[in-house]
Structure 1
Amino acid sequence: MSATYRQQAPAKVNLFLHVTGKRDDGYHLLESLVCFTATGDVLSGELRDDDQITLSITGPMAAPLAQNDINENLVMQAAKLLQDTCAPKQGADLILDKRLPIASGIGGGSADAAAAIRLLCEMWKLDLDAHTLSRIALSLGADVPVCLHGKTCVMSGIGEEITELPDLPPVPIVLINPGKAVSTPEIFKARADEGFSPTGAWQGKQKFQSAASLADALSECGNDLTLPATGILPEICDVLNALAREDGCLLARMSGSGATCFGIYDTTSQAERAAHAIATQNPDWWISPTHILSEKTREQAEIGAAFPD
């Protein structure tokens, strides 16, 4: 029986996101503090004797992907790119357990692509240097390099510049998506007449001992895409208000280009109560009480075969 390999694809959260400029080629320059959570997708795979690559998608969020060409999935694109680059002698049967909503601002597809790169490098015993991995990741999408890095960092440029930071504490956090996708290009188009934020908003090597101290520091920053996003999808405001009014919420903010928002809470019990209360009132929303991954909690997660339900 062939061995089964697994990689987690944790949700990416933009704790703040500033648009700092625009290149001549139309790409926007960003600066964002990024962390990852204990909620995410899971990618598994087994080796094949031939050079074929297959991908099956399961899980609670698989249905929206069923109508798409499987070859357009970022997992398949990452696998084919690695295969073209390195010409491994074996193929792979891949299974994506899709738990994160798609087009939701928490890097689901990008996290899946990064997991595919890690998984296939392990399966095919590929020894690629950092520059090659970065080039492959960026060619798949602006968020793939930061998801491949997988640790707390400041992401800048168009996503390719990563400044590693000290771990954040395992702060309780609630992720909520209203069940509707928003188009990132439309959001950037909607803010076309707005100015740009200055760079250097985050003081590099800060360390935090509590959710309150982190939330206080984040209050000096924001998400420059929130206003245009809420103009396109007003339900984002409903999510932000639902998070903010629950007891213990220290900060409520949209992640990335939305529509997923997050709330930072003082304690795990407050986060879980908030998630339960909001879910009762909004049964159609995707809601996940979780926590920020630190080195310790990341190691604990890697011991298990998958994220906890």
Structure 2
Amino acid sequence: MPKSEFAPAKINLTLEILGRRADGYHELRSLVAFAHDAGDVVTLAPGSSASVETSGSFAGDISGSNLVDKAISAFAAKVPGMKPPRLILDKNLPVASGIGGGSADAAATLRLLSKSYPGIADRDLHTIARALGADVPVCVRARPVIMTGVGETLEEIALPQEVYAVLVNPLIAVPSNKTAHVFAALGAAPLTAPPEAEPAPRLSNVRDVIAYAKARGNDLQAPAQKLFPEIETVLAELHRTEGALFAQLSGAGPTCFALFATKQEAVAGASALRQRQPNWWIRPTRLG
């Protein structure tokens, strides 16, 4: 029987860019959550294959070598003699969308392969994940965290059970190096001193989550809107959607999210938004 691993969308509920480090990377602080039912699926099928098979709505948008291929190669380096696995990627998330699709796929691949090779310890997975990209370690864990450093330091945090969101992507064309363009447009100042550690916030209900997100914001939202003006349209549509309590950009975009108090309001909001914008990618989901 084939084995499958869900690769949930990663949502940056906040994203603070604290400064540019001497090594060129950016120091950040982010409250990260994951979608319960919006994501890709990676399946390990019988047999062997030199390349990943793709299916799903956005399979055609994948070009060249992707993070799944790199994850396989990095994992195989830990397992001498490992045959190339036959992996099938069901691509349901838009590509380069600010919700960690490629990173989530790579992370799901690592989790899936580790079940077949239980001798690979968690510390090895974390090491492999860090080498693949800043968002891969948090996607390996796939649980709510406060993410700091350049993405390698993860502090688990409890989110309320009832946090519902609508994810929206306008399906505009973006360059493969979109994030680099957004960071360049931000022009973060050099980091002059290590940031002070902060206690994790206590988030008892969706109102607490919204208050924290409003206070921290997403520092990439303004530069991303300059590069991709459609983001402003998406946010305006979310703000005018009945039941939406808060809306913001996730990551470097262009996917945005709105938070709702109940599942019913999120589903109704997504339905109303689809009627106004039938060509957008719109998904209601619970976050956790």
The unaligned stretches of length 5 or more in structure 1 are 294-309
Match of 1:30 among 7, 11, 28: 28
Match of 1:82 among 58, 75, 85: 75
Change (3 A) 1:177 1:41: same
Q: Residue 53 of structure 2 aligns to a residue in which SS? A: strand
- Report the residue type matching 1:17 in the other structure: L
Q: CA deviation at 1:220?
A: 1.3
- Report the residue type matching 1:133 in the other structure: L
Match of 1:122 among 112, 115, 121: 115
Percent sequence identity over aligned pairs: 38
Cα distance in 2 for partners of 1:23, 1:108 equals 26
Match of 2:237 among 238, 242, 251: 242
Q: CA deviation at 1:84?
A: 1.7
Aligned residue number for residue 41 of structure 1: 40
Q: Residue 273 of structure 2 aligns to a residue in which SS? A: helix
Aligned residue number for residue 105 of structure 1: 98
Match of 2:200 among 195, 199, 204: 204
CA contact (8 A) 2:168 2:280 kept: yes
Cα distance in 1 for partners of 2:55, 2:7 equals 14
1:225 paired with 2:220, answer: yes
CA contact (8 A) 2:19 2:188 kept: no
| Cα deviation code 1:88-110 (max 9, x no counterpart) | 54431111110000111000000
CA contact (8 A) 2:162 2:261 kept: no
Cα distance in 1 for partners of 2:3, 2:51 equals 15
| Cα deviation code 1:288-309 (max 9, x no counterpart) | 011113xxxxxxxxxxxxxxxx
Query: Which segments of structure 1 move beyond 3 Å, counting only runs of 4 or more?
Result: 88-91, 193-196, 198-203
CA contact (8 A) 1:55 1:95 kept: yes
Cα distance in 1 for partners of 2:103, 2:257 equals 19
Q: Residue 235 of structure 2 aligns to a residue in which SS? A: helix
Cα distance in 2 for partners of 1:116, 1:29 equals 27
1:151 paired with 2:127, answer: no
CA contact (8 A) 1:111 1:147 kept: yes
Q: Residue 26 of structure 1 aligns to a residue in which SS? A: coil
CA contact (8 A) 2:15 2:251 kept: yes
Give the superposed CA RMSD.
Answer: 2.0
- Report the residue type matching 2:112 in the other structure: L
CA contact (8 A) 2:162 2:262 kept: no
| Cα deviation code 1:126-166 (max 9, x no counterpart) | 32233321110011111000000110001111111111112
**What is the TM-score of this pair, normalised by structure 1?**
0.86
Moved more, 113-122 or 212-221: 212-221
Cα distance in 2 for partners of 1:246, 1:97 equals 30
Aligned residue number for residue 131 of structure 1: 123
The unaligned stretches of length 5 or more in structure 2 are none
Change (3 A) 1:168 1:202: farther
**What is the TM-score of this pair, normalised by structure 2?**
0.92
| Cα deviation code 1:204-243 (max 9, x no counterpart) | 15131x3223212322110000000000011101111111
